[in-house]
Amino acid sequence: MHEEAAGSPAKKKLDSTKLFDNFYKYGLYIVFAALLVFFSRFNVHFITTSNMINLLTQTATVVIAASGLAFVMITGGIDISVGSVLFMTAVIVARVTDAGVGLFGAFIVSLASGAVIGTINGFFIAKLKMAPLIVTLAMMFVIRGMTISVVGIQPVFFNNDVALFLARTKIFDMVPILVIIMVVVLAICQFTLSRCAFGRQLFAIGNNRPGSESMGINVSRNVFLCYVISGALAGMSGLISGVRIGSIPPTFASGQEFIIISSAVLGGVSLFGGKGRAFPGVFLGVLILMTIENGLVMAQANMYAFQVFRGIVIFIAVFLDSARNRGAFK
């Protein structure tokens, strides 16, 4: 009787869920450390202060957007328009800063521009109950198409005083201000998710939407706000990415939404909703993908190698997330 209980499906489900939870809790640190050791064998300059700072700077863009997307994913939603929002806001901010808008205004414009798209997404998804995948997929094409139709196919250059300040300013002559911005965004997002009633409600919605409604949680409002947050932070990410690169071609951030989503999933944000952390989860997921890209570039690997590695990482992350939520391999 006891042996039967020990080997019951419920027991196996609990054990497998615990296994995956432990992987997302400890395994990612091991993976990151292994990547550092692996790539340092190909280039002695890989583990240096300058390259680690460069790696964190590369990470900042994706972390900011992925932190906003985490709010949406925790509720069980998805937003694949974030890459196009990055493109649109980078173009808008480049133009308004060329016209004389200062640093503070640039951040306000980037956040507001992204929030407008998030508001549209949230209205159709939360209020009209449309499928998130369809709404955000349509928005992805609409935003990029409209932006290109306005500015044309020539690159927009981001080389004014605002861009130079953000791209070159370092705290204590060592830590880029872009990294500081990333840390602040991470801290705010993690505090909201873990310490605020709003954050706890999001987890409840992701785990049991009907139950959340019966408990009196305003599901529609909260889901709507999540898309606004996702859009706003994608807008800020567009600003950060634009000043780093300096040139914004029509293909800017194309496909970036899949890197952002896969980074979040790799960091433990479930595609099924109800699980996720901005820190260390999202941050570590992004850092691992950026480490692979950075390491392959320094190892002078084939330019398409990163796409292969990224595809493998995405597959493994989604597979583990699916297995963790089923509680067992089937």
Residue ranges in 43-160 assigned as alpha helix (H):
49-74, 82-98, 103-122, 132-151
Q: What is the pLDDT of residue 1?
A: 44
Q: What is the pLDDT of residue 205?
A: 95
Structure token digits, residue 162? 């605002």
- Residue numbers of the domain that contains 49: 27-318
Give me the number of domains the chain comprises: 1
6, part of any domain: no
Strand, helix or coil for residue 269: coil
10, part of any domain: no
Note the pLDDT tens digit of each residue in 172-221: 888 999 999 999 999 999 999 999 999 999 999 999 999 999 999 999 99
Query: Between helices 103-122 and 161-168, what is the axis angle to 10°?
Result: 90
Strand, helix or coil for residue 256: helix
73, part of any domain: yes
Percent of the chain residues past pLDDT 90, beyond the cut: 56
39, part of any domain: yes
Q: What is the pLDDT of residue 326?
A: 63
Q: What is the pLDDT of residue 196?
A: 94
pTM, full prediction: 0.90
Q: What is the CATH number of the domain that holds 136?
A: 1.10.3470
328, part of any domain: no
244, part of any domain: yes
Which runs of E-coded beta strand occur in 221-300?
247-248
Note the pLDDT tens digit of each residue in 283-297: 999 999 999 888 888
Q: How far apart are CA 234 and CA 102, in angstroms?
A: 20
Confirm if 179 and 60 have CB atoms less than 8 A apart.
Answer: yes
Mean pLDDT, rounded, of the chain = 88
Is the model more confident about 18 or about 329? 18
94, part of any domain: yes
Q: How far apart are CA 253 and CA 83, in angstroms?
A: 5
How far is C-alpha 247 from the chain's CA centre? 22
Q: How far apart are CA 23 and CA 101, in angstroms?
A: 46
* Least confident residue range of 43-57, 96-110, 118-132: 43-57
260, part of any domain: yes
Query: Between helices 219-245 and 161-168, what is the axis angle to 10°?
Result: 90
